[in-house]
Amino acid sequence: MIIDQFAEGPLMQGLYWDRWYNNDSIITKNSVLYENYLLGSPRMRQLKVRNDSCEVHKDFQRAIFSCYNFYAQPYEDRQTSSGGGGNAKNDTSFEWREIKSFAKNDVWGILGTYSGEGGYIVDLTLNKTIALAKIRDLKKNLWIDRGTRAIFIDFTTYNPNINLYVVTKLIAEFPATGGLITSWQFRTLNLLENSSDAPIALYVCFTLFILFIAYYIIEELVEIKTLGVWPYFRSSGWNFLDIFTIIISVLLVFFLFYRKYVINKIFDEAYTTGGDSNTGGGAGDEGSADSLQNSSSLALQIETYQFDTLGFWSAQFSNILAVLSFVAWVKLFKYISFNKTMSQLSSTLSRCAKDIAGFGVMFFIVFFAFAQLGYLLFGTQVKDYSSFGKAVFTLLRLILGDFDFQALEAANRVLGPIFFLSYIFFVFFVLMNMFLAIINDTYAEVKAEIGVDGEDFAVMDYFKSISNQLLTKLGAQKEQIEGIQQAIKGAGLDGAKNVSFAAVRQKLKERDLSDQEIEMLFSKYDLDQNRELDEQELRAMFADLEGKKNEIEKEMADNENKRPESARSVHRFGGGPDMSKLTKRVDRMEYTLSVISSKIDSVLGGKVLLAAKTADVNTRLDEEDLEDSEPKRWTNN
């Protein structure tokens, strides 16, 4: 049997490296590829189904007495067997055993999902001779039988050179149709954060990450409380992404702490159970990953490490981290609408969203129709169409140019080419070009609206506004200093060498300075505290004021030079893109007003004409009434 040949040959040779290439014995035992160490002994686990897991058709029940279904947990066989050889009554390898460990998780295979609660377990030990004898004994007693549906070979290696663990799971699935399907899982774990040599920067960054999450949670909650739930989400689509980012970040922190908890739990179990059974309890003193890394001999004595759950949660942590990184990159679109191209792109996508949604409905109707057609036509002969899901992905790959036309033609020489050509025509040439046309037309409309002198950089506008505010503020400070200088000079116009506080206060009050500001300014230069400023003190005050004035003028000049040309032109001359856009809007408004005015004139002219006609008709009616009344009057007379 293939699985027996693999277990006796490549598996033993790969797990137990006991000799160098020159056939000398290796002093360091339990190494793989000379540099990796086995952590505990490798383990084989088998899952079976019962004989009554399915029902034989009534027409064959007299001839066929056994039926083994595909694997499902309700059909799992947990009975103790004696083996086909009849010599395994006392062998625990033929007993279903529960995995008494924290590390329990289901296994995803190619054919299905398998339980991780337990099974028929064989620990191969760390001795190659004993392990090979166990394999041959299992083969002799028919450990694998017709009910076998999956065999898992688990082992973990540690490389001290790079401080990495590799959790390996080799999977052999036995379908109910017969045969053998193999797969594998390799999960590399970096447990650096559990080592005393872990860099402090790692913990600092993680602490900052948690603080940022807490800050943004509070910020979003305050915003939701201020605006309300529905107005908050309706105000901007980016708010959905912000909430999603916070949720993913919280999950990431949870996975990180839970992963650390799983690591400590697994190593505690390994040192408690494995250490006590193999080293007389001496291994149970230090239940941590640090002691494992610092004592390779102790690690090799532990019976079995259960790293499945650790590998699973590490994979989930990596998945969450990947999603968070993706969302963070997507959020950059919110902040990079600073040039015309990005603004056009975002406007195009937002404007054509409804058209793309409508097109998507039509596209997926046609696409799923072809997927169902391919599954029904070629599902029994072509692997890529063996299920509806595989057919969907196969057709998606076909759009990208990845297809196997020979397989379709071999399955059906007539329908295969027809299916291929019709799919290419309707989906690739028609629907895909419609999709591109929707985006292209919308982009042309957006580009025409923005125009050559359209909206400038949004971020640059922000910085221009800040620059203008800064210049305005500096200008106000300059004017204030000049006002103080003029006020001090005005206070000393009487020719006196000394200037009193009352005179200074009166002049500065005219400059809208508060009493506190006047007092602080006067006290700074009134060194002798006589409530007067002498000639020397006045000279020092004017020197300081002139120096501050020069500093402000220099800073204003520097800021003016640093500003973009568009900002300077707008500030000085009132031109630039904004003025051009405003001019265009005024022109459109004038044209609209002229059209409205002409329509109003036509309406008013129509009303005047109608009034004239009405007056003419009334005049005629009056004349006719008058003529009718004249004969009646003569008759009465």
Query: Closest by alpha carbon to 87, among 38, 139, 39, 128?
Result: 139
The mean pLDDT value for 336-345 works out to 71
Cβ(67)–Cβ(56) below 8 Å: yes
Is the pLDDT score of 438 beyond 50? yes
Span 370-404, pLDDT tens digits = 999 999 999 999 989 989 999 999 999 998 888 88
Cα–Cα nearest to 549, from 472, 470, 483, 503: 483
532 marked among binding-site residues:
yes
- What pLDDT does 425 receive? 92
What mean pLDDT do residues 349-354 have? 86
Each residue of 42-72: pLDDT tens digit? 889 999 999 888 888 888 888 888 899 999 9
Say if residue 98 carries a ligand binding annotation. Answer: no
**pLDDT tens per residue, range 545-586:** 676 666 766 666 666 665 555 444 444 444 444 555 566 566
Which residues are CB-neighbours of 284 under 8 A, at least 6 positions away? 271, 272, 275, 276
User: Residue 281: what pLDDT?
Assistant: 35
Average pLDDT of span 217-239? 84
Amino acid at 425: F
| 482 labelled ligand-binding | no
Lowest mean pLDDT among 371-380, 438-447, 598-607: 598-607
The dihedral built from the CA positions of residue 503, 506, 511 and 515, taken in this order, carries a sign that is positive
What single string gives the DSSP state of each residue in 463-513? Answer: HHHHHHHHHHHHHHHHHHHHHHHHHHHHHTTT--SSEEHHHHHHHHHHTT-
182-186, 540-544, 588-592: least confidently modelled range: 588-592
Q: Give me the mean pLDDT over the 208-217 stretch.
A: 91
610-637 pLDDT, tens digit per residue, is 555 566 656 665 665 555 555 544 444 4
Largest CA distance in the chain: 160
Answer yes or no: is 537 a known binding residue: yes
Question: Which whole number is the average pLDDT over 159-174?
Answer: 89
Alpha-carbon distance 152 to 130, whole Å?
A: 19
**Considering the chain, what is the average pLDDT of its residues?**
75
Spatial separation of the C-alpha atoms in residues 250 and 6, rounded to whole Å: 45
Of 397 and 22, the structure prediction assigns the larger pLDDT to: 397
- pTM to 2 decimals? 0.62
pLDDT of residue 310: 77
pLDDT tens digits, residue range 256-306? 888 778 777 766 765 555 444 433 333 333 334 444 444 344 344 445 556
pLDDT at 279: 35
pLDDT of residue 276: 42
Task: Give the model's pLDDT for residue 529.
Answer: 67
With 0-12 / 13-18 / 19 or more C-beta atoms within 10 angstroms meaning exposed / middle / buried, residue 36 is buried
pLDDT in tens, 102-137: 557 788 899 889 988 889 998 888 888 888 888 888
pLDDT score of 505: 64
pLDDT given for residue 263 in this prediction: 75
pLDDT given for residue 373 in this prediction:
95
Helix residue ranges per DSSP H, 7-68: 12-15
